Every structure is written in structure tokens, then in C-alpha cells.
Amino acid sequence: MEIDAEYDSGSDVDSKRRAKGKNKPKPAARGKKAKADSVEESEEEEEEAPRKRKGRKKKEESEEESEEEQKGRRKKAAGSKKRAVKKDDSEEESEEEKGNKRKGGKKGASRKEKEEENNKEKKGNGKAAGKGGKDKQDDKDKKKNKGKNSSGSSSDDNSEDESMSEGEMARLKEEVEEKKKLIVTLRNKPWRMKRRLKCLKEAQAFVEKFEGALGKGKGRRLYAFKVMMTKVLMGMPYGSIARKTVPRDEQDSAMDFSVLFEFGVICYCLIWIKLLTFLQGYCKYSIMFYGYYNNQRSIGLLQFRLPLSYLLVGVGIFGYSLMVVIRTMARNANEGGDGAEEGAFTFSWKLFTSWDYLIGNPETADNKFASTTTSFKESIVDEQENLKDENIHLRRFLRVIANILILCCLGGSGYLIYYVVKRSQEFAKKDRNELTWLQKNEVEIVMSLLGLVCPPLFEVISELEEYHPRIALKWQLARIFALFLGNLYTFLFALFDEVNAKLDNEKEIKNETIWALKEYYDNYTLHHNVTENIPPPNISPADVIRGPCWETEVGIEFVKLTVSDIQVTYLTILIGDFLRAVIVRFLNYCWCWDLEAGFPSYGEFDISGNVLGLIFNQGMIWMGAFYAPGLVGINVLRLLSSMYYQCWAVMSCNVPHERVFKASRSNNFYMGLLLLVLFLSLMPVIYSIMTLPPSFDCGPFSGKDQMYDVIMETIEKDLPPFMADIFSYASNPGLIMPAVLLMVLAIYYLNAVSKAYQNSNMDLKRKMQMQRDEEKNRRNNKDSTNQVMKDLEDLLPNKSLIPPPSAEETEKPADQLSKSPKVTGKPGAAATGKGVNVKKDVSLAAANPRAPVTRPPGPRPPGPLPGIARGPLPGQGMGRGRGGPPPRR
Amino acid sequence: MGSRASSLLREEDIEEIKKETGFSHSQITRLYSRFHSLDKGENGALSREDFQRIPELAINPLGDRIINAFFPEGTNKKYTAREDQVNFRGFMRTLAHFRPVEDNEKNKDLTSGEPLNSRTNKLHFAFQLYDLDRDDKISRDELLQVLRMMVGVNISDEQLGSIADRTIQEADTNGDMCISFSEFTKVLEKVDVEQKMSIRFLH
């Protein structure tokens, strides 16, 4: 029942294509069809002149058809003609491609030759295969092939010999022109839409690629722009100031990474180890980290204010993320709730509405199939859970034990991390060369391992609790969440300890630097006897004394964490899923028990766990991005690669999770978690920005007492003075307090309004429901099922429309006969409310006696009220049987 | 496209179809070309095989049922060319169930009988997908068959049976252990059938 609006677009294109492709074999309407085709095309593209093409195409098509007619006949006999044709096409194409590839080898051949050869070969192929279908493709087709061919070969050329000769340049230019022409004229080609699109894409890509190199069009401008932007944004290149230079004693270790890289990828692990040291060595002074950026107020012609923008971007990211998450949540909240309230007709709904009738792709169909099955399984398990008999006391006891166990786990892991971080600080005091690799990266390894080991442990423990699977899943998620969060925060606190230590250390170094500088000046005056215009000390930037730069250290910690996280995830997939799947699959042939169904089985894909992992990964990025801007880039790479990697892993070596429950029907569950994580990761960053003093000699805020001083500075120096006044007033507590109050009031007001809207929504819904019910009643049983109304009408004194007693007497027998079933039938119908059996009521309505009114409506006859008078009449003692009620509607 | 289709389609036919189904002239011609492209037998009528070639129907577990819906029970000469073939009139008549309800149609009083795309008719179309023997009741067996189509062999017969029982239990109000059309309507009462069972045909 989930038929949506988009269907037509697909089917329409489809139909067009098919109409074009498939109907050709029909001889009778050929001419007309050609015409129709052209009309079709003009519908697709408005700009062309159909008249011109028509004649040409008619000719082409009639040629084509005569051949394709035979082909078509044969195919039809074979059964699935369509498929056959498609296969045909693809076969031919692959053959063409083969030809092209072969052609690519002989590079010396000129394009003309290639083209001819290609055509020959294609024709040969076609005839040899006895198809003869496509070889009469027109010139343009060949041009396309040629284009493809030449684009392939020329790009080869390009990559192989860097310097293009004059002739090649000219040729390339010509080709680009040709491609452009092709793009323009593509509309007029009598090809199928699919092929046209493909061709267009190829041509566009080609033009895009070579136009820039040839120094024409927008490609060149873009390139120049890129270069300029890098210059403007990055300030001076590497080596120009101290913080952008690797210190002397670290240079050796920094460079051997690249040597290793040259040497080649020997072993995965080695590279990762090297990468981690690389972080310590080379990257530390690169664009990736806080320390790279310097405190020059403005850079370049554009007066780019790096420190200011650094701060604003850092804080703005949080604002933007917050906005995005909340907006997504709000949008999600609007969706859903399309159907009935939960639980009304679960099974019927599943049965009648689960298939999406728009699915046209077999793979999607398989997925939908699986998800339908899952949802059915879910409801079966639900049912079973409901039926389960239980021993409450035992279960409660077990649950308490399980929770204690899990708390122990959480506490233990927190302590472990704290311990390890403390230890690593001790290690950090020692000489780096003495430490083993393990000692250097202990923290990250321990954290990753905890993240790896604890969740399965929790799962085992939660077996004790015997919760309903859905609840159990929520508990499990909550516990993993607590674990990750606890770990992250312990890590952070330990880090803050370290930062404080570094700050103390820094003071010393600062004094030292000042001392050294003073000494230098003193010496200079002593030796040269000048007190003014002393040149600055001539020290290579690599030898300058420098502070620890805690910001970069924090950034490095986060990058290390992220990298080791990537490492662990990838290795887990490789070993835990892939290797396991390989073993299970191939050892199964010679094993004593069924490996696939039995113990090891295949890895399961745990959706909720993976989503949670993603969320935490994001949290880490949020936290670290301020101190290591390069982290964002790493993360983008990671997400991109892991998407394909995990997709491959899931498709090739995982089975669906055994536990069939989804954590939540709406996406807002995870979005809520994301929001929480965002908030939690925002706090430490903002705290550190607001309270900790930046290092004196590194980063964009060096030399300032606080990071936000940059803003003050900008306000003072760059904005007109009245703006500074405005800001100083605005930051007055006397103004801030009312502003906060106002905001609180606004929140309160909006909350109240939203509640009111909700109420009125509910009211309207109820009203609609009532209206629908009423309408249905009116439609289904014309006479009325509404007891109350009927009774009320009975009480009405105005019964003047009732026929006189004489008429009543005559119709009574028939009346009784037809009435009695109705009277008995009625209570049932009334009890079931809306669910009235249509058939019965319709038949009753038809049998309803409508006595002819023999007398015009006049004044009420004398005597007692008819209603009362009729009361004691035999056969109408049931109370509601009235003689010939006036037709109400 | 229009010129070809209309050339094969007589004007009076189009008028008649227009009256019956409510499609516009251009929609009819457009759909005619679609009909024609589906028609591999070139005889102006669609067989079941023609329908099965549509990928959306081929992979739909209920595809056969939908195809069945194109073949009305009583072989009315107007809609079916011969046994197991449906002509353009029949094709259009079935498609008319999916025509969206337009705003101006809602207000129009239904003097000329209920249009094919009314809520009831849409629902009835859906109902027929499940009602195999066309006795206006969905029995437990019919439900089981549908379930089997939808979940394959992944769930045991016993469990499927219990699902079918539960479904009937939920929907059945008069205790005959079958789902009648009115009960079916009631189950899907909250679904916006008018919108969901509509396809936006191009004008």
C-alpha cells in the first residue's frame, strides 16, 4: 500500500525507452512510429527542431528496423526478448571495449586509423556473431566510440609521457572542441536516453579534465584560485617560523617515516606504528595541529585574521552541529504517526501494508523481503515474551546481580584508563628513545581494547536479566554508552591534569626564554657597545627554545585516539569477520560439526553497536577538532573508507543480527544520543577555551591571557569605536541578566503555545474521527444506528407525520415480520459500534416498510400522544418498533 | 508519442474511456503507448506474461495477485480480448483505481455512481489481492498463502499460522473467522488510502 508519487517518473521514462526500443519490429506502424519517436524526443528536449531530424531519422530507423525486425522475431521465439536484447547490447559493448583496449596498446596509430579499424572490427564481430543488429549504427555512434576510445588512450598518453608535444597539444585541443560539439548536439541524436546520458557524462568529464590543462575555460581559473587560497589561508609556508619547523633533535625521527614510505608497504602493522610516530614527529608541526598556526593578526592582502577566524570557526562548528542535529530531530518528529496509534492492528498492518510496491530493484526487493521477515519475527518474539511464565524474585535477584557486575566493569575500565594515562605521563618524562612502542601508545591501545571487549561482556551479563529483547537492547546501548562516555571523560580528566602540569612547565620555559633573550641582548651590548637597534638573535627556527604547547599535545592525543580507533575497527573487521567467515566457509567441508550453523558461525552485523560507534567517533572529533583541525580531514577519510570497507564486509561475510529488534522506530533515538554527545564534548572544549591560558609561544592565541581576548582585540581595533561602546554596554551584567530572563520567558511562552497546539491538534483529530464515524453510519445503515437520536425522537411530541391508526393497522403484520429481525439484530450492531455488517443492514434498509402516506400532514389527531398510545400494542412491546416512521433522510 | 497512439486509438474509444475512468485525453494516449510497449504479442491485448515482464511486478511477492487483478472474473467482452488477455479498456479500468482523487472531484456529488478511484474502490482493489476465491472474505488459508509469499521459508508454518490467527483475531469483529471487506476497511481506516494508492499519471 505504500505507493507514492514518484512512480510515474520512472515508469514513464521506462515506457518511453521501451516504446522506442521494443516496438520497432512491428512493420505496420513503422512510419507512424518513427514520427511518434520524434515527438517523444521533442518532449524530452524542447529546444530542438524536430522537422529536420524527422526525415533523417526515419531513414535511419527504417534501415535499422528491417534488420532488427528479424532479430526481434528470433528473440521473441526465444522468449524473453527484452533480456536478450539487453544482453546483446552489453555483449557487443564489451566486444567493442575489447577492441578499444587492444587499440590502446598500439599508441602510435593515428586516431583516424583507429577509428576505421575499430569499425571494421566491430562489424566483423557483429557479423561473426550473426547478430548484425548494431553494426549499422550511424556515424555519430561511431564518433562516440571513437571519443571514448580516444579519450581513454589520450589520458593514457598523458599519464605516461608528461610533456606533451606540440602536435599532441593541438590534437587534444581539437578533441576537446569535438567533445564540446558533441555535448551541444547530443540532444539531436537518435539514441536511447541511457546511452545519451552516459555519453554526455563522458564527454563532460573529458572536457573538464583537459580544458584546465590546456589553459582554457574555468579549469584554469579554478586552479589559480586554489593556489592563491592556499597561500592566503596558510600564511607562510613550512619552515618560515619556529612553530612550523621540526626541531633539530626530532628531525631524524621525523624524516625516516618518508623513507619507510618510499621503501614500500611491508606490513600493515608496521605502517600504523610508523604513522603514530609520524604524528609525534612530523605532523606535530604541520597544518594538522593547533601549534602550526601563528598569532599574526592579519595575513595577506585580504587582511585575513587567522586567530579570530580560528576561534570563531572552532566555536561556530559547535553552533552549526547543534543546529543541524536539532533541526534533523525536529524534522524526524514531524514524520511518522501517519498510521493508526500503536498496537491497534499490528498484525493486520504488517500483513496488508508491509510491501513497498514501488520497489523495482531485485536487491532492494531482497532487503525488503528480509525486513518484512524481521518484523514478523519481531512480533512473534513479542508474543512469546508475553506468554512467558516467570519467577519474579529470582529474576529480580539476577537483575540486581547483573547490574552490579556491569557497574564493576564500568568502574574497572574507568580506573584502568586513569591508571594508564597517569603512567603514560610518567613515561613522558623519560627520554622517548628508551620507551617501547607499547609504552608510548598504551593509552590508546587500552581504550580501544576496552571498547572492543566490554560490549560483548555486557551482552553476556545481560543474559542474566531476561529482559524483553527490545528493552534488553536499550539497556545494552545505555551501558555501552556509559562505558564510552566514562572512558572518554576519564581520559579527559587525566589529560587536564597533564595540561596543568604542562602549564607549570611552560612558565619555567617562558622565564628561561626571557632570560636567554636578555642574556643575548646583554652580551650583544657588551661586545658591540650599542644599546639600540640590536638585531634579533640569529637562531635557526629549529633551535629556538620552546614551551610544551599543551594545545598541540591535546590534539595529538585525540588524533592518536582516532587513529588507533580506526586501526582497531578495521582489524576487528578483517580478523573477526573476514577471517572467521573464510575459516567457517572453507573448513566446513572437513570439520566434525557444522561450522556454519554451529559454534563459530558467521559474524553478525550489529547495527546499533555500529551506530553508537559512529556517534562516539563524532564526539571525539568534536572534542579534538579545536586543537587538531586536521582531525576533521582524517575523519572524513576514515568515514569514506570505512563506508566502502564495512559495506564490503557486511555484504560478503556477515549475517543479519540474530536479535531482530530495532532499538527504536524513529531516528530520534540515535539523534538524541548524538545531541547528548555533542553537548558533552562541547563542555570540555568550551571550558578549556574560557579558562585555560593559551601557551605563550605557540598557536594563534600565543601572547594572550585568554583565547577570547582575540575577540576583544578585534572589537577594539578593527570595528568603529561606537561598536566597541555597544559591545561594552551589551556585556554589562545589568543587560545580560534581563536578556537571560527574557529568554527564559520566551522558552516558557513557546512551551505553553506548543502544548496548546498539541491539545487543539488532539481535539481536531477526535473531531475528524467522529465525523468519519458519523458519515460511515449514515452511509452504511441508512436508517440509523444512533440509538440516542432515535430515543430522543421518540420523546418528541411532534409526531404529526405518523400515519393515522387505520393505516397502521393494515401494515402491521408486514411491519412486524420485517421488524423482528432488525430488532434482534440491532443490539449486536450497536455493541460493535462502527463495525456494522454492511450487507445485513443494506438488506434491512431495503425491507424497511415505507407505508404510503395516504393523508396529507395535518394537525395532530386528538387523543393521547401516539407514542404512548402505541406502547401497549401487541408486537411492539420492544419499545422501539414504531409504525412507519417517517423516512428521515 | 501522442500522435502515434491516437492514430491507433479511435477518438470514440478515447471518449468512452475518458467517461469511464476519468483520465484525461493526453493521459489516455500516453498510457496507450505504455500499453503498447508492454504488448509483446502485438495483438492489442496483454497476456499474463506481458505483465510479468515488468520488473516491479516480477519481484513483488504479490505480483501475481496484482496481475490477476487486471483480469476480471467474468469475461466481459468489453475488457478482455479473449481468455487470459486484457485489452486496453480493461487495462485502463484497472489503472483507474490508482488515479489520484482530485480536489474538485471530492466536492462533486456522486450522481454518476462512484468513480473507480474512490476510497472504497481503491480499498476493494487491495482487498481483492488477498481474496483469492473472490467470495468477499479473506479466510485463514488465504492469509497463510499471502504470508508464505511475503516471508518465504524463513518462518515456520506453525508461526505463520499463529500470525494468521492473530491477524484474523484482530480484524474480525463478527466472529466468523474471516476478514470481510468491511472489516478490512476498518483495519485500514487510518491509512490515507486516497493518497497512498495513487499514482501521479502524467498529464
pLDDT tens across A491-500, in order? 888 888 888 8
Determine the residue among A341, A351, A358 to mutate to test chain B binding: the one whose Cβ has the most chain B Cβ atoms within 10 Å.
Answer: A351
- Say if the Cβ atoms of A379 and B171 lie within 8 Å: no
- CA B2-B6-B12 angle, to 5 degrees, is 140
ipTM above 0.85, yes or no: no
**pLDDT classification of A594: cutoffs 50, 70, 90:** confident
Lowest-pLDDT range, A141-145, A417-421, A790-794, B23-27? A141-145
Q: Which of the four pLDDT bands, split at 50, 70 and 90, describes residue A641?
A: very high
The nearest alpha carbon in chain A to B191 belongs to A339
> Which chain A residues touch B118 with a CB distance below 8 Å?
none
Question: What is Dmax (Cα atoms) for chain B?
Answer: 57
pLDDT value at residue A462: 83
pLDDT tens profile A29-40: 444 444 444 444
In this structure, are residues A103 and A153 in contact, taking their beta carbons and an 8 Å threshold?
yes
> Within 13 Å of residue A64, how many CA atoms lie on the same side as its CB?
21
The answer to whether A232 touches A304, Cβ cutoff 8 Å, is yes
Q: Which of A382-391, A575-584, A666-675 has the lowest mean pLDDT?
A: A382-391
Question: E strands along A214-367, which residues?
Answer: none
Beta carbons of B162 and A12 less than 8 Å apart: no
Q: Which pLDDT belongs to residue A393?
A: 81
Interface A–B counts its CB contacts (< 8 A) at 164
User: How would DSSP label each residue in A616-662?
Assistant: HHHHHHHHHTTT-THHHHHHHHHHHHHHHHHHHHHHHHEEE-SS---
> Mean pLDDT of all residues in chain B?
75
pTM, two decimals, is 0.52
> Considering chain A, what is the average pLDDT of its residues?
65
Q: How buried is residue A877: exposed, middle or buried, by Cβ count under 10 Å (0-12/13-18/19+)?
A: exposed
Q: Residues with Cβ < 8 Å from B1, sequence gap 6 or more? A: A16, A19, A36, A39, A40, A43, B29, B30, B33
Band (pLDDT 50/70/90 cuts) for residue A595 is confident
Instruction: Tally Cβ neighbours within 10 Å of residue B103.
Output: 7
For B54-82, what is the mean pLDDT? 71
Closest Cα to residue A270, out of A262, A280, A260, A256? A260
Mutate to test the interface with A, among B190, B192, B200 (most CBs of A within 10 A): B190
Residue A671 distance to chain B (closest CA, Å) = 27
- Residue A472 above 60 pLDDT? yes
CB A132 within 8 A of CB A71: yes
B1 CB neighbours in chain A (<8 A) are 16, 19, 36, 39-40, 43
CA distance A824 to A816: 12
* Range of lowest pLDDT (A382-391, A801-810, A839-848, B119-128): A839-848
- What pLDDT does A753 receive? 95
- Mean pLDDT is lowest, of A341-345, A395-399, A579-583, B28-32, for A341-345
Average pLDDT estimate for A444-467: 82
Contact B59 A360 (CB under 8 A): yes
Q: Tens digit of pLDDT for each residue in B118-150? A: 778 888 888 888 887 778 888 888 888 888 877
Element counts in chain A: helices (H) and strands (E): 30, 2
Count Cβ atoms within 10 A of the Cβ of residue A186 and give its class: 0-12 exposed, 13-18 middle, 19 or more buried: middle
Confidence of residue A120 (pLDDT cuts 50, 70, 90): very low
Given a cut of 50, whether residue A218 has pLDDT beyond it is no
Q: Which three cell numbers stand for residue A849?
A: 416498510
A671 within 8 A of A327, measured Cβ to Cβ: no
Structure confidence by residue, pLDDT tens digits, A80-119: 444 444 444 444 444 444 444 444 444 444 444 444 444 4
CB nearest A372 (choices: B36, B143, B151) = B151
Interface test with B, best of A357, A368, A837 (most B CBs within 10 A): A357
- Which of A8, A37, A352, A381 best tests the B interface by mutation, with the highest count of B CBs <10 A? A352
Minimal-distance CA residue of chain B relative to A16 = B34
More confident residue, A754 or A338: A754
Which chain A residues are within 8 Å of B167, Cβ to Cβ?
347-348, 351
Q: Which residues contact B66 (CB under 8 A, 6 or more apart)?
A: A357, B57, B60, B129
Q: Can you read off the three cell numbers belonging to residue A480?
A: 555501552
pLDDT by residue (tens digit) across A124-182?
A: 444 444 444 444 444 444 444 444 444 444 444 444 444 456 667 667 777 777 776 66
Cα distance from A280 to chain B (closest Cα, Å)? 54
pLDDT at residue A873, as a whole number? 41
Name the closest residue on chain A to residue B200, using Cα atoms. Answer: A5
* A778-801 average pLDDT score: 58
Helix locations, A360-468, DSSP H: 362-387, 392-429, 437-440, 442-462
Are the CB atoms for A308 and A714 separated by under 8 Å? yes
The highest-confidence range among A98-102, A324-328, B199-203, by mean pLDDT, is A324-328
Chain A's closest residue to B147, CA to CA, is A351
Please give the distance of CA A838 from its chain centroid, rounded to a whole number: 48
pLDDT for residue A95: 46
